[in-house]
Structure 1
Amino acid sequence: MRTVVITGGVGGARFIRGLQSHLGEGPIAGGAEQITAIVNVADDMWMNGLRITPDLDSIMYALAGANDEERGWGRRGETERVSAELVAYGLGHSWFTLGDLDLGTHIARTDLLRQGIPLSDVVARLCARWGLGARLLPATDSEVETHVHTTDGEVLHFQEWWVRYRATRPAERFEYRGSDVATPAPGVAQAIREADRVILAPSNPVVSVGAVLAIDGIAQALRETSARVVGISPIIGGRAVRGMADACLATIGVAAEAGSVGLHYGARLAGGLIDAWLIDTVDASALPELQRAGIAASAVPLWMTDLELSCQLAADALRA
């Protein structure tokens, strides 16, 4: 069975870990399971001459068991001596600290990219070290970056708006810079079209999943796949599960409510992107409206506070 997960970083990583664990608990019907994660790259940026890919790295480290569970990002057992030195030289960013082990990954990636190797091949090479049990594909090999146009007329890279300002500076719009000329990375559209099931992870619907869908051809592949497309709400009880997704949703005029996000994706039978939508039990009152819109919605526990709960959510998504 071929399962494709369209995802951003931390929330998607937790879900994929749960999916792997769930599928490994019993016999797998029809042969070996294949999990492909199609990962957002619009959070990426150049910093101090290095290409940084936060979402790809978060998933790689999490599936490798090398991530920092307490912070939720980066490598376990990190030191930050190099970042401190860069700041001392006036070249670093105190609001965006990179660990020394993490820098090893960024140096390796940048070296390979500068040799002319496409990002998708670089990701495969880096992941081969860890034996992840899943295939990671960047949504595109092109450089696509989210820039935030603020209401006071400034344009910020998404990372500065998100990490430095914690999304407190009102945004007028998001620009997925480079997406107009980007094409899906090799294997991305094919993986979606040939999948047995496709899952939209509980990632930010605007700057994670939304940035993936902004790349020409990916949304169309979702509409054309014969697989059932199931989405998982990143909103529980009117609040973002992680980060500041509510600020992103407000910018595009979507309420920070589980039902509203499902309607934003829309039913495939009406030209949208999803067949089914999972919301938390606290949001069960949204089920009738979603079902009237042609979305097979159901309410299940969504919190992934440990691996057991992540496994249960994965089981619920596969049932949907």
Structure 2
Amino acid sequence: MILALAGGVGGARLARGLAAILPPGKLTIAVNTGDDFEHLGLLVCPDIDTVCYTLAGINNAAQGWGLEGESWAFMDALGKLGGESWFNLGDRDLATHVLRTGMIGRQSLSEITALLAGRMGIAHRIVPMSDDRVRTMVDTDEGELPFQQYFVRRRAEPRFRAIRFDGIETARPSAGLLDAVADPALEAVILCPSNPVLSITPILALSGVRAALAARGVPIVAVSPFIGGQAVKGPAAKIMGEIGLATTPAGLAAYYDGLLDGIVIDRVDTGADAGTAALHVTATLMRDLDDQRRLADETIAFARRLR
């Protein structure tokens, strides 16, 4: 069994590759919920939805998020009425948020995610990192901003200083995440090529998660989100630079502070140093499902060699 930690576009793409090569029951994808927020009266879970839409094959592959063939009549009407239109909600995407919001008081986020994923035809287990409310807050040179205000409304332009997770002190890891960590059949933990600071750290910050992963004694492998020092998508390189860490294998290993046994890097970075972490060099850019399957297969094989 493989446990993948994911958030956002890069994480969803590798998760799709893992789902394509592993049978149901052999993969759990634990997804960041620090990006979740309440908007227009709706509970929006961007990373969960991106992972679900991608695994269901209904995502907008070009932009990485949202649904293919989406329409925007709701946003157009909202803008004309003077409503908050800085965060795009597509007409069909709205159905997900409306259903989730209507159920959240009666069912847990884990239960809702499993229900929606099943209705999308997804056979693998997708679990939120927690059923409790956690909200990422970004300290910037313009003050502290809620994550979506920083990431979407301000396009990650303010200088990043630090991050905190509101609610993390009392939030419990979801049962699905804990079950995967404790599963006797667990072979490896894969940190998908999501933003290390914004997407993976919230999961590791949950009480007991990092220690439990380290204690399992299975290989923990990260697929680097950087190619030649640049992020494939998003502000990961900008943020790492602003907190004084290099966007290199060594910088990634330093950020995770001894947690990693191995790192998968792109051929552009051949010869790089990663301290005590082993390296596997391959093509890490995922343009299509074939790339996703190949990278997933190589990452699992690499992790198995580290056992």
TM-score by length of 2: 0.93
3-state DSSP of counterpart to 1:172: strand
Counterpart CA distance in 2 for 1:313 and 1:262 is: 20
Number of the residue aligned with 1:27 = none
The answer to whether structure 1 residue 275 and structure 2 residue 270 are counterparts is no
Counterpart CA distance in 1 for 2:20 and 2:253 is: 26
Counterpart CA distance in 1 for 2:117 and 2:134 is: 21
The answer to whether structure 1 residue 17 and structure 2 residue 7 are counterparts is no
What amino acid does structure 1 have at the position aligned with 2:270?
Answer: A
Q: 1:207·1:248 contact (CA, 8 Å) conserved in 2?
A: no
Number of the residue aligned with 1:70 = 62
Structure 1: gaps spanning 5 or more residues: 25-31, 267-271
Equivalent in 277, 283, 299 of residue 295 of structure 1: 277
Q: 1:239·1:257 contact (CA, 8 Å) conserved in 2?
A: no
The answer to whether structure 1 residue 175 and structure 2 residue 164 are counterparts is yes
What amino acid does structure 2 have at the position aligned with 1:15?
Answer: L
Number of the residue aligned with 1:133 = 123
Number of the residue aligned with 1:239 = 230
Equivalent in 246, 261, 265 of residue 255 of structure 1: 246
Counterpart CA distance in 1 for 2:207 and 2:243 is: 20
RMSD, aligned CA: 1.6
Displacement of 1:92 in angstroms is: 2.1
Number of the residue aligned with 1:269 = none
Displacement of 1:33 in angstroms is: 5.3
Counterpart CA distance in 1 for 2:35 and 2:82 is: 23
> Identity over the aligned pairs, expressed in percent?
37
Counterpart CA distance in 1 for 2:259 and 2:248 is: 18
Q: Deviations over 1:60-91 (max 9, x none)?
A: 11111111112211111211111222223323
Counterpart CA distance in 2 for 1:150 and 1:111 is: 34
Number of the residue aligned with 1:98 = 89
Q: Which runs of 4+ in 1 moved over 4 A?
A: none
Number of the residue aligned with 1:149 = 139
Q: 1:249·1:256 contact (CA, 8 Å) conserved in 2?
A: yes
Q: Which moved more, 1:246-255 or 1:12-21?
A: 246-255
Number of the residue aligned with 1:185 = 174
Counterpart CA distance in 1 for 2:22 and 2:170 is: 37
Displacement of 1:129 in angstroms is: 0.4
Equivalent in 33, 36, 48 of residue 28 of structure 2: 36
Q: Which moved more, 1:73-82 or 1:201-210?
A: 73-82
Q: 1:233·1:262 contact (CA, 8 Å) conserved in 2?
A: no
Counterpart CA distance in 2 for 1:217 and 1:251 is: 28
What amino acid does structure 2 have at the position aligned with 1:146?
Answer: T
Number of the residue aligned with 1:120 = 110
Q: Deviations over 1:251-302 (max 9, x none)?
A: 4331222331123223xxxxx222111111111221xx32xx3212222111
Q: 1:189·1:217 contact (CA, 8 Å) conserved in 2?
A: no
Number of the residue aligned with 1:212 = 203
3-state DSSP of counterpart to 1:216: coil
Q: 1:120·1:138 contact (CA, 8 Å) conserved in 2?
A: yes
3-state DSSP of counterpart to 1:42: coil
Q: Which moved more, 1:63-72 or 1:250-259?
A: 250-259
Counterpart CA distance in 2 for 1:201 and 1:76 is: 23
Number of the residue aligned with 2:289 = 307
Displacement of 1:247 in angstroms is: 2.1
Number of the residue aligned with 1:48 = 40
Displacement of 1:51 in angstroms is: 0.3
Q: 1:193·1:226 contact (CA, 8 Å) conserved in 2?
A: no
TM-score by length of 1: 0.89
3-state DSSP of counterpart to 1:206: helix
Q: 2:188·2:218 contact (CA, 8 Å) conserved in 1?
A: yes
What amino acid does structure 1 have at the position aligned with 2:283?
Answer: P
Number of the residue aligned with 1:28 = none
User: Matched residue pairs, number?
Assistant: 300
Structure 2: gaps spanning 5 or more residues: 303-307
